[in-house]
Amino acid sequence: MKPRVTRRIILTAFIAVSTAIPLTVAADGTLPGLHPPDEQTVEKAFASKRPYSPYAGRNFPARPLFGDTHLHTSFSMDAGAFGARLTPQDAYRFARGEEITASSGQRVKLARPLDFLVVADHSDGFGFFPMLLDGNPKIMADPQGRRWNEMVHSGKGPQAAVEIIVNFGKGTISKAILPVPGTTAYRDAWKETIKAAEEANDPGRFTAFIGYEWTSNTAGNNLHRNIIFRDDASKASQIEPFTTQQPLGSDNPRDLWKWMAAYEDKTGGQVLAIAHNGNLSNGRMFPLIESFTGKPVDEEYAVNRERWERLYEATQMKGDGEAHPFLSPNDEFADYETWDKGNLDLSEKKQQAMLEFEYARAGLKNGLLLEEKLGTNPYKFGMIGSTDSHTGLSTADEDNFFGKTSAHEPNAERMSHPFIKVPSGDVIMSWEITASGYAAVWATDNTREAIWDAMERRETYATTGPRMFVRFFGGFDFEEKDAQTRSPAIVGYTKGVPMGGDLTDAPNGKSPSFLVAALKDPIGANLDRIQIVKGWLGKDGTVQEKVYDVVWSGNRQPNAQGKLPAVGNTVNVQEATWTNTIGTGELITLWKDPDFDPSLRAFYYARVLEIPTPRWTAYDVKYFGVKAPKETPMTTQDRAYTSPIWYTPGK
Partner 1 sequence: MNNFFKEPLVHFLLAGAVVFAVYGLVNDRTNAESKEERMVRISAGQVEWLKQTWARQKGRPPNTEELQGMVAGYLKEELLAREARELKLDEDDTIVRRRLAQKMDFMVQDTAQLAEPGEDELRQLLESHSVRFQTPARITFTHVFFNRDARGEKTRADALVALEQLPKTQTGSESEFGDRFLSQYDFHETEEQAVASVFGPEFARRIFTVPPGNWQGPLESGFGLHLVLVTKKEPARLPDFTTVRDDVVALWRQQQERESRERYFSGLLEKYEVVMDESVKSLIGPIALLKEKDQ
For the CB of residue 631, give the shortest distance to partner 1 in the complex, in Å.
33
Taking contact as CB under 8 A, which single stretch among the options 107-115, 256-264, 382-390, 494-502 is the one that binds partner 1?
A: 107-115
Identify the sign of the CA torsion 605, 380, 316, 427.
negative
Choosing from 66, 591, 603, 616, the residue that interacts with partner 1 (CB under 8 A) is: 66
Choosing from 287, 488, 614, 644, the residue that interacts with partner 1 (CB under 8 A) is: 488
Q: For residues 400 and 411, which CB has a smaller minimum distance to partner 1 in the complex?
A: 400
Residues 247-286 that bind partner 1 (CB under 8 A): 247-248
Taking contact as CB under 8 A, which single stretch among the options 58-66, 283-291, 420-428, 589-597 is the one that binds partner 1?
A: 58-66
Question: What DSSP designation does 390 have?
Answer: B
Choosing from 73, 245, 584, 617, the residue that interacts with partner 1 (CB under 8 A) is: 584
Choosing from 588, 606, 621, 645, the residue that interacts with partner 1 (CB under 8 A) is: 588
Is residue 107 involved in binding partner 1 (CB under 8 A)?
Answer: no
Choosing from 4, 7, 63, 510, the residue that interacts with partner 1 (CB under 8 A) is: 63
Is residue 203 involved in binding partner 1 (CB under 8 A)?
Answer: no
Q: Which helix (H) or strand (E) holds 69?
A: strand 65-71
Q: Which helix (H) or strand (E) holds 481?
A: none
Contacts of 476 (CB under 8 A, 6+ apart): 503, 506, 507, 510, 511, 512, 513
Q: Shortest CA distance to 588 belongs to which of 516, 485, 499?
A: 516
Question: What DSSP designation does 645 have?
Answer: E
Q: How far, in Å, CA of 310 to CA of 451, rounded? A: 13
Q: Shortest CA distance to 409 belongs to which of 430, 428, 385?
A: 430
Is residue 288 involved in binding partner 1 (CB under 8 A)?
Answer: no
Q: For residues 220 and 488, which CB has a smaller minimum distance to partner 1 in the complex?
A: 488
Taking contact as CB under 8 A, which single stretch among the options 180-188, 189-197, 227-235, 628-636 is the one that binds partner 1?
A: 180-188
For the CB of residue 518, give the shortest distance to partner 1 in the complex, in Å.
8
The answer to whether residues 492 and 501 touch, using CB atoms and an 8 Å cutoff, is no
Q: For residues 323 and 582, which CB has a smaller minimum distance to partner 1 in the complex?
A: 582
Binding mask 134-173 for partner 1 (x = CB under 8 A): xx-x--x---------------------------------
For the CB of residue 57, give the shortest distance to partner 1 in the complex, in Å.
12
Is residue 469 involved in binding partner 1 (CB under 8 A)?
Answer: yes
Q: How far, in Å, CA of 371 to CA of 378, rounded? A: 7
Is residue 450 involved in binding partner 1 (CB under 8 A)?
Answer: no
Query: What beta strand segments (E) does 74-155 contain?
Result: 100-101, 107-108, 116-119
Reduced to 3 states, what is the DSSP secondary structure of residue 516?
strand
Q: Shortest CA distance to 176 belongs to which of 258, 274, 99, 245?
A: 245
Binding residues for partner 1, total number by CB under 8 A: 43
Q: Give how far the C-alpha of residue 43 lies from the chain's centroid of Cα atoms, to the nearest Å.
A: 47
Is residue 17 involved in binding partner 1 (CB under 8 A)?
Answer: no
Question: What DSSP designation does 294 have?
Answer: S
Q: Shortest CA distance to 529 belongs to which of 609, 640, 641, 637?
A: 609
Residues that bind partner 1 (CB under 8 A): 52-56, 62-63, 66, 97, 111-113, 115, 134-135, 137, 140, 180, 182-183, 205, 247-248, 467, 469, 471, 484-488, 517-524, 584-586, 588
